[in-house]
Amino acid sequence: MRKEGKSKAWQNHHLGNNMIREFKKRFTRAGIKTHEKLMLHCLRKSWACNLAENGIGNKTLLELGGWSDIRVLDEFYSKASDANKKKAVEVLDRLMGE
């Protein structure tokens, strides 16, 4: 929205409240239970973490997510997961012929 000059549209608190309400309603309807506070930011974090865990590079994530600083992306979104570590070990084993 910032790139398109529409960031002020998000400053309308009614728009934000409606989106949060709809997000929470769909979350509940899907039967998902959590003790965490539900915010729209959860969707962005989930999106970025899922892409990072599936091998999408930081430069691509930075561009698609609209972050201005790669340090933010590195710190909060693209941490190594156990699944990624296991996948890396499997790839290295395969390359070494084991």
Verify that 14 and 60 share a domain, yes or no: no
Residue 29 shares a structural domain with residue 70: no
Count how many domains the chain has: 2
The tens digit of pLDDT for each residue in 9-50 reads 555 555 667 777 888 888 888 888 877 777 777 778 888 888
- In sequence order, the 6+-apart residues with CB closer than 8 A to the CB of 67 are 61, 73
Q: Alpha-carbon distance 93 to 98, whole Å? A: 5
Give yes or no: residues 52 and 98 share one domain.
yes
Whether residue 23 is found in the same domain as residue 61: no
- Are the beta carbons of 19 and 38 closer than 8 angstroms? no
Q: What is the pLDDT of residue 78?
A: 63
Q: Using an 8 Å Cβ cutoff, are 81 and 51 in contact?
A: no
What tens digit of pLDDT does each residue of 44-86 get? 888 888 888 787 888 888 888 888 888 887 777 766 566 667 7
60 and 14 part of one domain:
no
**Could you tell me how far CA 56 lies from the centroid of its own chain?**
12
- Residue 8 scores a pLDDT above 80: no
80-95 residue pLDDT tens: 566 667 777 888 888 8
The residue range of the domain holding 24 is 1-34
